Amino acid sequence: MVQDRFGIYLHIPFCRAKCRYCDFYSAPGTREVPQPFVDALLRELRNNHRRPDTLYFGGGTPALLSPTQVRSLIEAAAPLPGAEITLEANPDVVSQQSLAGFREAGVNRLSFGVQSASDPQLRTLGRTHTADGAALALAWARQAGFDDLCGDIMLALPNYTNAEFDATLDLLQTGGCTHISAYLLKIEPGTAFARHRPANLPDPDAAADFYLYAVKQLEAAGYRQYEISNFARPGHEGRHNLLYWNCRDYWGVGPSAHSCLGNVRRFWPDDTDAFVAGTLTEQEEGICDAEDFLLMQLRLTAGLDWDEYVHRGGTPLDARRKAFLRQCVGHGYAEFDGRTLRLTPAGMVVQNAILEELM
């Protein structure tokens, strides 16, 4: 991978409604992105003189931006030719006109938060779209000329079944998705679900089974797993997120956005008003060290190059770790050829325990 690849992440902290599981910094109850906020992003982008080859609009709900606002931000970021430019969207906030406008503005990759093909489940999650609405949004996106379409599936929801997963996969596959993110529901502190835990959640063993079933079905449908929660048709892997997992440079802009530049991690505090006013400054979070590299690389099916880990300051393999890795291989959790360590899907289920032992 090219060493000097660089990405920009723009955090758009506005959404119509807060989902019950969401712990991202966002301001619900808005139907558009205020122009002063866009002006603040443009102000910060003027300080950057490094052209990115990935640009990612995340949120919140970035599709609340107007195509004109998106165009101005893309022009300010000045991405390189052939750059991957991704915009996250909720199915119910887009239209044929807005999707055509986003494509014309330069967006070439859309990521839809579909989560489930079950309308009752979507209501439980606090989503404001329907399964039919998601299918229509995907059709509109194809009509607008988007060849890279991503869809999210949330696993192990209340009263979850393999049939619900199959229906959601069918919706995304029929809708033309080239990339699918499938991840387990996690009850995060401060969320509505943390305050009022939903009934009939699968236990950890059942959740693990749902994950392994999803991996198997996605592979059978032609979506190759390349990261713990991400699957893509060949050539459609997410280039921006690969920067994170490969510990490459990326710059986040906006309240709550994070960066890693030159192995130094930084972040913007959660304060939209101060960001707009220009009184918010990035804070240093720490160094991206060898342990961060290990943690990120073991998310990838390509695995961890142990020599590179040691080169970055990690601990060489000792007798204890070698014995532990032999156990992991024997139990079907990992593959290890003496240099590259790869976790299997079963190993990814227990990734935290493996990381704890290795670190």
Dist. CA 64–CA 67, nearest whole Å: 9
219-228: pLDDT as tens digits: 999 999 999 9
% of the chain exceeding 70 in pLDDT = 99
- For the chain, the structural domain boundaries read 6-243, 290-359
Same fold, 6-243 and 290-359: no
Predicted pLDDT at 359? 82
State residue 1's pLDDT score.
Answer: 40
**What is the pTM (predicted TM-score) of this model?**
0.95
Query: Burial code of 289-315, b = ≥16 C-beta within 10 A, e = fewer?
Result: ebbbbbbbbbbbbebbebebbeebebe
Q: Is the pLDDT of residue 3 over 70?
A: no
- Edge-to-edge strands, sheet with 179-184: 224-227, 230-232, 179-184, 148-155, 109-115, 84-89, 54-59, 6-12, 249-253, 258-261, 264-267, 283-287
Provide mean pLDDT across the span 147-160. Answer: 97
- 55 pLDDT above the threshold of 60: yes
Query: Where does the pLDDT of residue 37 fall: very low under 50, low under 70, confident under 90, or very high at 90 and above?
Result: very high
Q: What average pLDDT does the segment 184-193 reach?
A: 93
Is the separation of the CB atoms in 297 and 354 below 8 Å?
A: no
Is the pLDDT higher at 4 or at 127? 127
* 26 neighbors 59 (Cβ within 8 angstroms): yes
CATH class, 290-359 region: mainly alpha
Give the pLDDT score at 28. Answer: 85
Please determine, for residue 176, whether its predicted confidence score (pLDDT) is greater than 70: yes
CB burial of residue 87 (10 Å; 0-12, 13-18, 19+): buried
Q: Which of 231, 239, 201 is nearest to 345 (CA)?
A: 231
Higher pLDDT, 1 or 296: 296
| DSSP class of 300 | B
* Residue 156 · residue 206 · CB < 8 Å: yes
Residue 140 is predicted with a pLDDT of 98
pLDDT for 331 equals 96
Mean of all residue pLDDT scores within the chain: 95
Q: Is residue 252 pLDDT above 60, yes or no?
A: yes
**pLDDT computed for residue 73 by the predictor:** 98
- The pLDDT, as a whole number, for residue 2 is 44
More confidently predicted of 219 and 1: 219
Nearest to 274 by CA among 40, 42, 73, 13: 40
**Across residues 124-146, what is the average pLDDT?**
97
Two structure tokens written together for 324: 């532990």
Given a cut of 50, whether residue 42 has pLDDT beyond it is yes
Mean pLDDT (whole number) for 162-166? 98
Residue 184 pLDDT class (50, 70, 90 cuts): very high
Looking at residue 209, its pLDDT comes to 97
Superfamily classification of domain 6-243: Aldolase class I (3.20.20.70)
